[in-house]
Amino acid sequence: MPRIALIPGDGIGPEVVREAVRVLERVMRGDGLSFDLVELPYGAERYLREGVTITDEEFRALDEDYDAVLLGALGDPRVPGNEHAKDILLGMRVKLDLYVNFRPCALLSPELSPLRSIDAPFRLDIFRENTEGEYTGMGGSFKMGTPDEVAIEENIGTRKGVERIIRAAFEWASSRGRTRVTLVDKANVLRHVGGLWRRVFAEVGGDFPEVRRDAMYVDAMAMDLVRRPQEYEVIVASNLFGDIVSDLAAEVTGGLGMAPSANLHPGRHALFEPVHGSAPDIAGTGRANPIGAIRCVGLLLDHFGHHDSAARIEDAVVASLEAGSTTPDVGGDLSTEQVGEWIANHVDGAPAPVS
């Protein structure tokens, strides 16, 4: 039985994870699936109480004793430097080598998009490289604080790192019937790392003749994601460009409360988390939208091969949007818990509760 670590974390994290688990348990019961769910206390409360973020032994256990992680969010105003969040989140990315940041951006209902030109649902899957690029901390400062200060931030691209994320994007496209993968880069200016990405993209793409491939500069893609996002199917990008275009795509497809994500090392480990943070401004008010976290359960089920169960969650989410049974951020007036109950009831065919 797959073992899932639940890390609700801080702020609205526990509120949205509770609803995600409600939906997961309903699906498990309805579809006869078994997952061993184990809640772990990593977050600000523990850090403030014990001065511990997450130990090496706990990282080892996450790696060896669990098949996946479902995370809420980390970040608490009582820890101004957010040391615990950095330790836990970045620690998991690096120590579990979660090199794929998968951001499916689906516009489930045209009303959710700020773009008035979009009149039909669409899906755009983004594969962001999660371990290299400008995010390694390589570089340094010289003569800091003087008029002669020099600061260098290295852009790291390795053959292995670039190849594995590009392959993951093509494998996803090929296995899901998607017909096009687009590389987003700035290879006209960042010629060394950009050149590596272009060469590997052509080489790996050659193994998938059924999938069309093209490349776009990131500035042109920023314009197109506002102008005609529905034209794209799968995007693969470096850490920095993927970070930026995936937030833009999340916003044009319904905003923070709706967006799920996965951090993956295919074949080894998986971490699922809503894109939003711990939203301390609304924590405890019942206004947190649980749909991003609930859709993470869909990704988790998909990851373990339960595609029909995952599709039923997505259908239930769409039904809740159509019925207006949502939290205020997407136009409804239900609470976090009521939305969770509504979707859970819809997933197992029970009548939806009256709000």
Ligand X SMILES: NC(=O)c1ccc[n+]([C@@H]2O[C@H](COP(=O)([O-])OP(=O)(O)OC[C@H]3O[C@@H](n4cnc5c(N)ncnc54)[C@H](O)[C@@H]3O)[C@@H](O)[C@H]2O)c1
The catalytic site residues sit at 135, 186, 219, 243, 247
Reading the block at residue 162, the tokens are: 């670039």
Reading the block at residue 157, the tokens are: 């691209």
For residues 280-319, b (16+ Cβ closer than 10 Å) or e, as one string?
Answer: eebbeebbbbbbbbbbbbbbbbbbbebeebbebbbebbee
Tell me the closest approach of the beta carbon of residue 87 to ligand X, in angstroms.
12
Does 253 bind ligand X (CB under 6 A)? Our answer is no
Does 279 bind ligand X (CB under 6 A)? Our answer is yes
Does 73 bind ligand X (CB under 6 A)? Our answer is yes
Tell me the closest approach of the beta carbon of residue 76 to ligand X, in angstroms.
6
Residues 185-244 binding ligand X (CB under 6 A) are none
Q: Name the residue among 109, 71, 85, 34 with its Cα closest to residue 262.
A: 71
Q: How many residues bind ligand X (CB under 6 A)?
A: 22
Q: Which of 75, 133, 242, 298 binds ligand X (CB under 6 A)?
A: 75
Q: Which of 53, 289, 335, 338 binds ligand X (CB under 6 A)?
A: 289
Q: Which of 105, 204, 282, 296 binds ligand X (CB under 6 A)?
A: 282
Q: Which stretch binds ligand X (CB under 6 A): 132-140, 166-174, 286-294, 296-304?
A: 286-294
Distance CA 274, CA 294 (A): 8
Tell me the closest approach of the beta carbon of residue 72 to ligand X, in angstroms.
7
Q: Which of 37, 156, 256, 352 binds ligand X (CB under 6 A)?
A: 256
Q: Which of 273, 317, 326, 343 binds ligand X (CB under 6 A)?
A: 273
Does 74 bind ligand X (CB under 6 A)? Our answer is yes
Residues 84-123 binding ligand X (CB under 6 A) are 85, 89
Tell me the closest approach of the beta carbon of residue 348 to ligand X, in angstroms.
23
Q: Which stretch binds ligand X (CB under 6 A): 73-81, 100-108, 143-151, 317-325?
A: 73-81
- HEC string for the chain: CCEEEEEEECCCHHHHHHHHHHHHHHHHHHHCCCCEEEECCCCHHHHHHHCCCCCHHHHHHHHHHCCEEEEEECCCCCCCCCHHHHHHHHHHHHHCCCCEEEEEEEECCHHHCCCCCCCCCEEEEEEEECCCECCCCCEEEECCCCCCCEEEECCECCHHHHHHHHHHHHHHHHHCCCCEEEEEECCCCCHHHHHHHHHHHHHHHCCCCCCEEEEEEHHHHHHHHHHCHHHCCEEEECHHHHHHHHHHHHHHCCCHHHCEEEEEECCCEEEEEECCCCCCCCCCCCCCCCHHHHHHHHHHHHHCCCHHHHHHHHHHHHHHHHCCCCCHHHCCCCCHHHHHHHHHHHHCCCCCCCC
Q: Which stretch binds ligand X (CB under 6 A): 118-126, 209-217, 279-287, 310-318?
A: 279-287
Question: Which CB, 101 or 345, lies closer to ligand X?
Answer: 101
Tell me the closest approach of the beta carbon of residue 235 to ligand X, in angstroms.
20
Tell me the closest approach of the beta carbon of residue 54 to ligand X, in angstroms.
14
Does 288 bind ligand X (CB under 6 A)? Our answer is yes
Residues 300-339 binding ligand X (CB under 6 A) are 329
Does 276 bind ligand X (CB under 6 A)? Our answer is yes
Question: Which CB, 289 or 345, lies closer to ligand X?
Answer: 289
Question: Which CB, 196 or 275, lies closer to ligand X?
Answer: 275
Question: Which CB, 107 or 196, lies closer to ligand X?
Answer: 107
Question: Which CB, 5 or 183, lies closer to ligand X?
Answer: 5
Count of other CB atoms within 10 angstroms of residue 52: 13
Which parts of this chain interact with ligand X (CB under 6 A)?
12, 16, 73-75, 82, 85, 89, 256-257, 273, 276-282, 288-289, 292, 329
